[in-house]
Structure 1
Amino acid sequence: MTEKQEHLLQLFRELDEICKKNNLRYVMAGGTAIGVVRNEGFIPWDDDVDIYMPRDDWNKLVEISGSVLPEHRALQCVDVDRSYTNTFPRYVATDSCALHKHQIIGRDSAGEIIDVLTLDPIPADDKEYEKYRTHMMIYSELVNMVVVYGARWEIPVTAYLRWLFSYTFLGKDRTLKKLEKIMYSYKEEDCPRYAMRWGGCPFLFDKDMMFPVKYMSFENTKVMVPHRMSDYLIWHYGDEWSYIPPHGERESHDAVTVEGITYKELRDDYLPGIRKGRLRRDSIWRKIYSLAGAKRNHRLQYKRNLLLAKSTVMDLEARISESRHSLKELVEKRDFSQLNEIFTKYYQVQLSSAFIGREDFGGIYAFYHPVLLEVSDVTFYAAMLTLVYTERIGKAWRMLVVKEQTGTFPSELAQLKSDIELFRRAVCDYEFKRYQEAEDTMVPLMERYPEVPGFVKFKSRFLMERACNGIDMVEAELYIDEALRLFPVDGYFLKYQGELLWMKGKCADALEVFADAREKTNNGITQLELDKFLNPYGRETVKTCQQLLDVGQKDGAMKLMALWYRLLPENPSVREYYYLARASVAKKRSEVEELIGEILKRIDAERAESPGENNDIQIYKRALTKAWERLGYPGELARVRTDLVYTSEADDLEWLAERAKDGQIRKEKRAQVYKVIGDVRRKQGQTEAAFQNYLEALRQNGSGFVRTELSRIFLTDLYEGSKRAAVYAKAGDASEFLNQWLGKYGSIEEIQQLVKECL
């Protein structure tokens, strides 16, 4: 957990305790809700906490805030504090600094926050929701000057100007109160839905999706989560919510976070020069321009969509005609791999946010004005069935809803939509531990769709739970074997196969299967289940590894840790001993050098991901030190080299140089001493002193590896320097650079002799 996450966790626990003591409802939301289910805590790269809270509960929290809030805490809400620059409230640490760009022109609290996204009651009548949405977007435009909201939904520019006129001449407070009276006029007991108060996209939820709450674990705290958690996550993120995204697709939030000062200090010291009045005026003109052009932009986008739709349909028809089998034949054969290839481009276009939208941000207009590619009912059915059979059930359901709105909805499509809804009901029953009802619901679905991966996975859970209780283990084994025949590289089923082997006492075989399962799935739930099962054994494994290393059984230690590194690649202790075993067992100098390079890359990467966080990278210290020792550095010098990787403070660097000098008492290791001192001086920026130490190290005739390191340093410097000298020479006089660069080497003759020695 990062320092920021620790801070956020403290804030959340404070708010959670206040809510529980005062019978206030909330539920975990957004990426935080994914973290609850997939990680039982923070998603590793997440840097905020989101919760939903009904408006009545938030109002009660505001009322009691004076007596329940800890020191240096505040509630931020625009209907209480008109300087606040967001439509949804926040719980703020006022003794910290986390300034978002929209807060630059405001005066509101800008510390570390918990986002409290308010749920406003909405009647069943869609016209009332549209009325709410229109006024909420105008409200957001007036509250937050930086972001343009209304262009997402074609809010008339005349309506905005009318309210802006009121805002300017009648005052902010009076204008916002008028809007609040309209938006917040509905009572919760009269409404079956909530609108999540987000200015640009007030999402709609059924009340029973959120409440009554359930409880799950988040960083060892029991927290409130949505009543229909799986439905909520599928609605918000699609079927992919349980899968861990690649590194490049992991998103965090942007804020100017400064440790050790408050947001007030940042504003006082760094922001006085900003021309806030001009920023506000520019923002208003940008809003007017964007709102005025929104309708035209949406019409142009619609025309572009139609052109793209026509070309996509032509491509799809060509693919179908080129296929050796008709769509009907492929469906009957259940050749969904071939069908998926046929529909690849169709899916890229039809499932994009520009065509079917999302009920958030820029996708809200397309969500309510979807564009459906004109294909035959036979083609559409085959495409939807392929989505179901390739684990994109949520997208199939969304497309079926869009298709139903056109008025032409054949019975087979109606059946498919009904079956998807049955599956979701079964998942909800399973969530509420109504296992028999869930299993009974799945019986007819499994008969109609015998090889749908999602259905097979769901059924396997029932069988495995019975097997874990000693019931019908043979049935579970047969079912998992058949599942692996259908899906041989799916880690979900491999994990179950490993569990069955473990139950039968074949633990060594089970561990090998678990390792395969880990590598063949990015399903976060499967990964979490493996972690929970294996982590206790991992603690014993590292003890065994240390014992093997202590008695000189390095190969045994390496074999053990190679397996457990596959099993628990993110476990810090397992990683530490895996690299330590590799450093101990390496038989060639090249292997040790490769290991050092790999470790240094990991340290750099982890520093880049979590600047200022050094806890995780400490685990590589022992392996690095061992590697330096294997390359001829005595113990203390090896430790100094390792500490140099982790140290950047000037005083600490000088202390490392002094520690290195103590190694001069061993005459045969003086080359290593001078080399390490040179490394310290180089990190201090003392280039000339560094190279003097490197030259002295070369004169000491050290071990082969030291000479190799020194040769690389000298030759690289000479090569890079010569390239820079050529650039200077082209631009004019290079003599000053040459004197500075080559001066640390001495005469030309000395340089020639040095190159000769290096080569």
Structure 2
Amino acid sequence: MTETQQNLYKLLIELDKICNDNDIQYFLAGGTSLGAIRHGGFLPWDDDVDLYITRKNYEKLDKVLNKMDIPNRSWITAENCETYCNPLPRYIDEDTTVIYRARIGDGTPHGQQIEFFILDPFPNDEEKQIEYKKYLWLYCEIMNPYFVSIRSTLPVETIDESLYNYYNKKIKKVGKNQVLFEIKEKITYDEDECDYYCARWGKRAIVYRKAWCDDVKLVQFEDRLFPVAKDVINCLSVDYGMNWNLIPNVDNQIIHSSIDRLDKSCWDNDEEIRKIVKKYNINDILYKNKQNNLFKGFRKIDFHRLESKLKNSYLQLLVNQWNKEKWRFSIEKTDELVKIFEPFFVFQLSFIYSKFNLSLDINEDLLETMVLSLIYSNRIKDCNIILNSNKKFSKEKDYSDICKAIYNLKIEKYNKNLNRVNVLLKYLINKNYSNQIEVLRTRAWLLSSEPTKSKNDDINSFKEFLSISNNDLEVFKYYADTLYYYGKKEEANKMYKDILNESNNGMIMLDIKNKLSKKRGGLDEKNN
């Protein structure tokens, strides 16, 4: 662990004890839960800890922490601190200093913190869900005068400039608290009427099925056990997409921008910071900066709408040329087809273009070839975007069902749910997708989990899997597991070493490291 992580870990242990002592259920969230599942602890680059808590459990925790007097700790919420304008309650270590730009003048302790994301009931009705997301964004945007929640990745129907202006003007008449109360009423639902939870956060509506989070399980996080959602793999798939198990390259490893001094109390320079904030009108500058960026965000939507229409015209010209040809998909030509279609995919799959859902006149055989090329290159999310943009496609539902089955197959494989895996495999194999890479990986995993006891048959099956998958590293790992099972330990350990050096699949890498740490031999610690 880094020094930052060591201190955060200490805070996490404190909160865990408080919650356990008071029968309060919480669980690891976001990158913290991803780190637990994929790395057995912190993400190597992570610099914060996020926790989930349901509204009912939060209310219990809030009462407990407001009554407790913990030395050098603060519990800061929008309810107990008038100047704190954020929907995320924070447990703060006053012995440290961590300063974020948007919070520099909010008058709260600027120490290292753990954030709670509150999970609120989210409606079942689709139209109410759209309204909820709109008012959730609005609530967070108005609540925080210095931080911009609007993002180009938010759905178009979520961002409503006229509604924002209406409530912003209303603040001058009735006050900000009354306006926030009115908006909050629109995102408050009876838990018994809802099958979903939504995190109270403006940058994105994170929605889970309640059934995934109605209980927790303990998993290893560094040297202790901490709770994650019962169906944490489902949650991670929502948070990070189907490829949550892959470790991103350095450019995509998110680190927060802040001024950190873990050896210095946040109170040491508090008076000086307050003087600077007052002297240079920092809060006024931050407020004006937010309003400018918000205005730019609204105008950017208009620009993106126009830009997408121009791109749509270009795509139609491209498609018109392809419509003249006869198209037929073959697995052997997957890479070639993807290369041909990539200019189309680059535009249609972009956040900016896809959210406007513009239609194209595209022949069915061409569209089907595109869809299959994405399915067989395992770009399931991209395939769903193409299908959602082409609802008139006669086979749209059929291919959507295939994508859903592949998506769920991967989830159930990492859940180690053999019954569901077998059901989904049977469905996909019957639909002639036995050689789709995620299906192949799952078949290989299943064989390594339940060897047939016929060594030659199993090894021959793996050689076939490797040939079809072009020596896919995940298939290779399951082959190594099977060789180890049959006593070929030296060969298996050599394969494990190669996989650790070449793979970015954090799940198989963690499993290999766990196997080797149990004295199964063959690899020095330095290679881990």
Separation in structure 2 between the aligned mates of residue 510 and residue 141 of structure 1, nearest angstrom: 54
Match in the other structure for 1:211:
214
Match in the other structure for 1:112:
112
1:515-569: CA deviation from partner (whole Å, max 9, x where unpaired): 333334211112112212224559x77xxxxxxxxxxxxxxxxxxxxxx57xx66
Match in the other structure for 1:578:
none
2:331 is the alignment partner of 1:348? no
Match in the other structure for 2:418:
435
CA contact (8 A) 1:389 1:452 kept: yes
Q: Which moved more, 1:450-459 or 1:295-304?
A: 295-304
The RMSD of aligned alpha carbons is 3.1
2:203 is the alignment partner of 1:200? yes
Separation in structure 2 between the aligned mates of residue 245 and residue 75 of structure 1, nearest angstrom: 33
**1:227, distance to aligned residue in structure 2 (A):** 3.4
**1:477, distance to aligned residue in structure 2 (A):** 1.8
Match in the other structure for 2:493:
511
Q: How does 1:29-68 map to 2 (within 5 A)?
A: 29-67=29-67
**1:205, distance to aligned residue in structure 2 (A):** 2.7
Separation in structure 1 between the aligned mates of residue 297 and residue 3 of structure 2, nearest angstrom: 42
SS of the counterpart of 1:117? strand
- Unmatched runs of 5 consecutive residues or more in structure 1: 357-365, 542-563, 572-759
Q: 2:440 aligns with which of 453, 456, 464?
A: 456
Match in the other structure for 1:533:
515
Query: With structure 1 as the length reference, what TM-score do the two structures score?
Result: 0.63
Match in the other structure for 2:465:
483
**1:481, distance to aligned residue in structure 2 (A):** 0.9
* Larger fraction in helix: 1
Separation in structure 2 between the aligned mates of residue 514 and residue 431 of structure 1, nearest angstrom: 19
Q: How does 1:254-653 map to 2 (within 5 A)?
A: 254-275=257-278, 278-288=281-291, 296-315=299-318, 326-328=326-328, 331-356=329-354, 366=355, 369-371=356-358, 374-404=361-391, 408-411=392-395, 413-427=396-410, 429-430=412-413, 433-447=416-430, 448-467=432-451, 471-537=453-519, 564=523, 571=528
**1:73, distance to aligned residue in structure 2 (A):** 2.4
CA contact (8 A) 1:77 1:89 kept: yes
Q: How does 1:117-156 map to 2 (within 5 A)?
A: 117-149=117-149
Q: 2:236 aligns with which of 226, 233, 237?
A: 233
**1:175, distance to aligned residue in structure 2 (A):** 4.5
**1:327, distance to aligned residue in structure 2 (A):** 2.9
Between the two structures, name the one with larger relative contact order (CA 8 Å, sep ≥ 6): 2
Inter-CA distance 372–266: structure 2 relative to 1 (3 Å threshold): farther
Q: 1:246 aligns with which of 240, 244, 249?
A: 249
Inter-CA distance 164–305: structure 2 relative to 1 (3 Å threshold): closer
Separation in structure 2 between the aligned mates of residue 206 and residue 122 of structure 1, nearest angstrom: 9
**1:94, distance to aligned residue in structure 2 (A):** 2.3
Inter-CA distance 278–168: structure 2 relative to 1 (3 Å threshold): farther
**1:472, distance to aligned residue in structure 2 (A):** 4.8
Separation in structure 2 between the aligned mates of residue 20 and residue 219 of structure 1, nearest angstrom: 19
Query: Which amino acid is 2:200 matched to?
Result: R
CA contact (8 A) 1:231 1:424 kept: no
Query: Which amino acid is 2:107 matched to?
Result: R
Q: How does 1:94-105 map to 2 (within 5 A)?
A: 94-105=94-105
CA contact (8 A) 1:85 1:108 kept: no
Inter-CA distance 302–187: structure 2 relative to 1 (3 Å threshold): same
**1:128, distance to aligned residue in structure 2 (A):** 3.6
Inter-CA distance 69–315: structure 2 relative to 1 (3 Å threshold): farther
Query: Which amino acid is 1:112 matched to?
Result: Q
Match in the other structure for 1:722:
none
Q: Which moved more, 1:5-14 or 1:311-320?
A: 311-320
CA contact (8 A) 1:53 1:118 kept: yes
Query: Which amino acid is 1:418 matched to?
Result: D
**1:251, distance to aligned residue in structure 2 (A):** 1.9
**1:264, distance to aligned residue in structure 2 (A):** 2.6
Inter-CA distance 27–510: structure 2 relative to 1 (3 Å threshold): same
- Unmatched runs of 5 consecutive residues or more in structure 2: none
Match in the other structure for 2:76:
76
Inter-CA distance 320–21: structure 2 relative to 1 (3 Å threshold): farther
Query: Which amino acid is 1:515 matched to?
Result: K
1:633-688: CA deviation from partner (whole Å, max 9, x where unpaired): xxxxxxxxxxxxxxxxxxxxxxxxxxxxxxxxxxxxxxxxxxxxxxxxxxxxxxxx
Inter-CA distance 302–488: structure 2 relative to 1 (3 Å threshold): same
1:310-355: CA deviation from partner (whole Å, max 9, x where unpaired): 3245446657879xxx531xx2454212112112222222222212
SS of the counterpart of 2:277? coil
**1:465, distance to aligned residue in structure 2 (A):** 1.0
CA contact (8 A) 2:410 2:438 kept: no
SS of the counterpart of 1:216? strand
Separation in structure 2 between the aligned mates of residue 78 and residue 124 of structure 1, nearest angstrom: 28
Query: With structure 2 as the length reference, what TM-score do the two structures score?
Result: 0.88
Q: 1:220 aligns with which of 203, 206, 223?
A: 223
CA contact (8 A) 2:246 2:506 kept: yes
1:475-522: CA deviation from partner (whole Å, max 9, x where unpaired): 432221111111233221222232333333333333332233333421
Separation in structure 1 between the aligned mates of residue 114 and residue 187 of structure 2, nearest angstrom: 23
Q: Which moved more, 1:229-238 or 1:443-452?
A: 229-238
**1:257, distance to aligned residue in structure 2 (A):** 0.8
Inter-CA distance 461–157: structure 2 relative to 1 (3 Å threshold): closer
CA contact (8 A) 1:426 1:439 kept: no
CA contact (8 A) 1:489 1:520 kept: no
Q: 1:187 aligns with which of 187, 190, 197?
A: 190
Inter-CA distance 374–248: structure 2 relative to 1 (3 Å threshold): same
Separation in structure 1 between the aligned mates of residue 256 and residue 336 of structure 2, nearest angstrom: 40
Larger of the two Rg values belongs to structure? 1
> Identity of aligned pairs, percent?
22
Separation in structure 2 between the aligned mates of residue 141 and residue 476 of structure 1, nearest angstrom: 57
**1:106, distance to aligned residue in structure 2 (A):** 0.7
CA contact (8 A) 2:66 2:75 kept: no
Query: Which amino acid is 1:383 matched to?
Result: M
SS of the counterpart of 2:243? helix
**1:172, distance to aligned residue in structure 2 (A):** 4.6
SS of the counterpart of 2:276? coil
Separation in structure 2 between the aligned mates of residue 428 and residue 245 of structure 1, nearest angstrom: 19
Separation in structure 2 between the aligned mates of residue 102 and residue 45 of structure 1, nearest angstrom: 22
Inter-CA distance 143–441: structure 2 relative to 1 (3 Å threshold): closer
Match in the other structure for 2:85:
85
1:146-200: CA deviation from partner (whole Å, max 9, x where unpaired): 22335866755564455445545655545544444x1453221222222211123
